[in-house]
Every structure is written in structure tokens, then in C-alpha cells.
């Protein structure tokens, strides 16, 4: 059964406990706490943010930044780095001021939240609402406007991580979408051509990793289907490129949103190269993944100009 509120597959207690145990083994306690929005460093960052507001805060000057993309694509790492800037306000998916059950609150509430913020940049991470990014950019804006960061990760690393974390969720969700369910986020924003393509695939035959790879295609192709590659207020961020060169990658992100970069953002983040180990996928699916990877890489190489009003370093 698919939970319509958050688009997650609901299964019995033992199965859920087994997935949680597998997640702990694969990700470690620190990563699990981070995803639950619980981390010792949060208290330190929150204190620095309160001090900044006391001396610099001024409501009515915020730029809204929407961080979107597909789960398990590195958005947690990026927000962890960016939250070390005290002038940045962050609303993660567990923040009830901006979210209910991982979905954004009504637009008027978000507009009010942005208008009242004393921070110059307010970043929200509505991954389950990524298909709404154009609407958010045009209707849910801060006093200084809005920008978006679409984050993607290579299909192999992302599918491996997601299958360990979510098990059969992707396959069951895609089956529901193909059967006509429009209540879950996995199928929202898809055009008729994308839906017809999905229905042409024998989804029941896919294993967990292959289903995650197909979901990677379904959601990341929205970057092109929504015309985001033609917009200057959207930047495509390659997570693997950022982890290969954390200072360089974070500088690019900071420059785009007008946030001063500081070395503390990447403290403890070791450069790493994406593993060459490819997950096992059907040949037809691997070809589709490789084609989309090439398109994404070309689009990520283009970074639009930074917004006015801030000089980043």
C-alpha cells in the first residue's frame, strides 16, 4: 500500500524494522541522525545563527532558494555544509514551519515565512515537491526573489544507496503511478509521454536497484521536461563533482545564491571520487541512464550568473 500523504510504501512492522536495521548498517548512526534532523552540530550552528540575527537580522530582505531533486542525491550533505553560514536560514523536510509530512505547507504560509525571515537567504528543501519548482519560483518568492538548486547524483551511487534505504518502495510506487495514482509525489509533474513510457515497462520484473534507477530517470528528466535547463534562476548541481572537489563545488553553489563562502563549510568533508562499481541493470535501462547522465553533465557545466545584491568570495 502507498501512503498518499508522502508517497511512501507502507509495510508491516517486521519488514520496516528490517529496513531500518539495514539502513543503520549501510549508512551509520551519524547519517541516520542527520536525516532525522538530529545532529550535535545543529545546536552549534543554531547558536551562531541566533547571534547573527541579533546583530544583523532585518526582515524583508530574503532571497528564497529551493533545493530540489531526488532523495539520496546528496542534498543532506550540501545543507549540512551550507548551514555553517549563519546568515543562511534553512528549512529541511522535517521543519514543521515549512512542511507537513515531507510536503510543503500552503503557498501563503510559505510567502509569509519568507517575508518575516530576518535572514538574507532562506533555503527550503522540498524534495517531494520538486515537480513544483517552476510554480515555486514564480509564486512563492522572497522579497528579493527566488532561485533553485536541482541536485543530482550519479545513478549507480544513488540507486545503491536508495535500494539499501528504501527497499522495494520505488517499484511499488512506480506501479501505482502506472496504474493511475496521481496522489503520490513519484508520479506528479509527469507529462503524458513520460507516463506512457512508464506504462510500457514491465515494472514487476525490476529488482529494487533497477526500480530505483528507473525512478532516477523519471524524476531527473523533469529538469528538462519542465524547461529548467533554459532558466537562469535554476542551477543544476552535480553532487559527485562537489564531493570530488568540496571547496570548488561549494564555492560554485555559494556564488550562485550570493552566499559568502568560508572554509568551515567543508571542514571534515574529504574529497572522494565516485566508485567505478556499476550496479547491475538491464541493458535497455543502462542505456537510458547513460543517455540522461550525459545530458545532465552538460547542463551542470553551465552555471547561471549570481543574483544581484551579494558579493560572494
Domain annotation for the chain: domains and CATH numbers: 2-300 (3.40.50)
What's the mean pLDDT in 305-310? 56
5-9, 81-85, 239-243 — which is least confidently predicted? 5-9
Confidence bin at 18 (pLDDT 50/70/90): low
Average pLDDT rounded to a whole number, residues 63-85: 96
Helices (H), strands (E): how many in the chain? 14, 9
- CA of 134: how far to CAs of 5, 227, 228, 283, 293, in Å? 22, 9, 8, 34, 22
Question: Residue 273 — very low, low, confident or very high, per pLDDT cuts 50/70/90?
Answer: confident
Mean pLDDT of 25-46: 60
Confidence of residue 305 (pLDDT cuts 50, 70, 90): low
Specify the higher pLDDT residue, 311 or 188.
188
What residues are paired with 90 via a beta bridge? Answer: 123
Nearest residue to 12 via CA among 177, 185, 167 = 167
Q: Report the percent of the chain where pLDDT is more than 70.
A: 82
The percentage of residues in the chain with a pLDDT greater than 90, rounded to a whole number, is 74
Output the CA angle 287-290-296, nearest 5 degrees: 145
Q: Please, which residues have CB within 8 angstroms of residue 221's CB and are 6 or more apart in sequence?
A: 194, 292
**pLDDT at position 53, please?**
81
Helical spans, DSSP H, in the chain: 13-27, 29-35, 40-56, 75-82, 107-116, 133-139, 155-166, 169-178, 192-199, 208-220, 222-225, 239-244, 246-257, 283-300
The mean pLDDT value of the chain amounts to 87
The pLDDT value given to residue 5: 35
Residue 272 has pLDDT above 80, yes or no: yes
pLDDT tier, 40 (very low <50, low <70, confident <90, very high otherwise): low
CA distances in angstroms from 268 to 35, 80, 240, 246, 261, listed in the order given: 18, 11, 17, 10, 16
pLDDT band, very low/low/confident/very high, at 13 (cuts 50, 70, 90): low
What is the predicted pLDDT for the residue at 15? 53
Question: 232 pLDDT exceeds 70?
Answer: yes
pLDDT of residue 147: 97
Helix boundaries (H) for 83-203 = 107-116, 133-139, 155-166, 169-178, 192-199
C-beta of residue 112 within 8 angstroms of C-beta of residue 280: no
Q: Please choose, from the candidates 292, 309, 308, the residue with its C-alpha nearest in 3D space to the C-alpha of residue 300.
A: 292
Would residue 212 be called left, alpha or beta, if left means φ above 0 and alpha means ψ between -120 and 50 degrees? alpha
Q: In 3D, which of 187, 160, 169 has the Cα closest to residue 72? A: 160
Q: What is the rounded average pLDDT of the residues 165-173?
A: 95
Q: Give the pLDDT band of residue 57 (cuts 50, 70, 90).
A: confident
Per-residue model confidence as pLDDT tens digits over 114-146: 999 999 999 999 999 999 999 999 999 999 999
Amino acid at each position: 500500500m502507498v501512503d498518499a500523504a508522502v508517497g511512501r510504501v507502507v509495510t508491516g512492522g517486521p519488514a520496516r524494522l528490517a529496513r531500518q536495521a539495514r539502513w543503520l548498517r549501510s549508512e551509520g548512526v551519524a547519517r541516520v541522525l542527520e536525516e532525522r534532523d538530529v545532529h550535535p552540530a545543529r545546536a552549534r550552528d543554531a547558536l551562531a545563527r541566533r547571534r547573527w540575527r541579533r546583530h544583523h537580522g532585518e526582515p524583508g530582505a530574503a532571497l528564497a532558494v529551493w533545493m530540489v531533486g531526488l532523495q539520496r542525491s546528496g542534498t543532506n550533505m550540501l545543507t549540512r555544509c551550507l548551514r555553517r553560514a549563519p546568515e543562511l536560514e534553512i528549512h529541511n523536510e522535517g521543519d514543521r514551519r515549512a512542511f507537513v509530512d515531507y510536503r510543503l505547507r500552503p503557498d501563503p504560509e510559505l510567502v509569509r515565512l519568507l517575508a518575516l525571515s530576518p535572514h538574507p537567504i532562506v533555503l527550503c528543501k522540498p524534495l517531494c515537491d520538486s515537480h513544483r519548482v517552476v510554480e515555486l519560483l514564480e509564486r512563492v518568492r522572497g522579497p528579493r526573489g527566488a532561485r533553485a538548486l536541482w541536485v543530482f547524483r550519479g545513478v549507480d551511487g544513488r540507486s545503491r544507496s536508495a535500494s539499501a534505504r528504501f527497499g522495494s518502495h520505488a517499484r511499488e510506487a512506480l506501479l501505482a503511478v502506472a496504474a493511475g495514482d496521481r496522489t503520490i509525489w513519484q508520479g506528479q509533474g509527469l507529462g503524458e509521454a513520460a507516463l506512457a513510457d512508464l506504462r510500457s515497462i514491465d515494472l514487476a520484473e525490476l529488482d529494487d536497484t533497477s526500480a530505483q534507477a528507473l525512478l532516477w530517470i523519471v524524476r531527473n528528466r523533469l529538469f528538462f521536461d519542465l524547461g529548467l535547463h533554459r532558466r537562469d534562476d535554476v542551477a543544476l548541481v552535480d553532487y559527485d563533482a562537489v564531493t570530488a572537489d568540496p571547496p570548488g563545488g561549494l564555492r560554485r553553489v555559494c556564488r550562485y545564491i550570493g552566499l559568502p563562502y568560508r572554509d568551515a563549510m567543508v571542514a571534515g568533508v574529504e574529497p572522494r571520487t565516485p566508485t567505478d562499481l556499476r550496479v547491475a541493470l538491464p541493458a535497455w535501462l543502462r542505456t537510458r541512464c547513460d543517455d540522461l547522465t550525459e545530458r545532465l553533465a552538460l547542463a551542470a557545466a553551465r552555471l547561471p550568473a549570481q543574483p544581484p545584491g551579494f558579493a560572494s568570495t
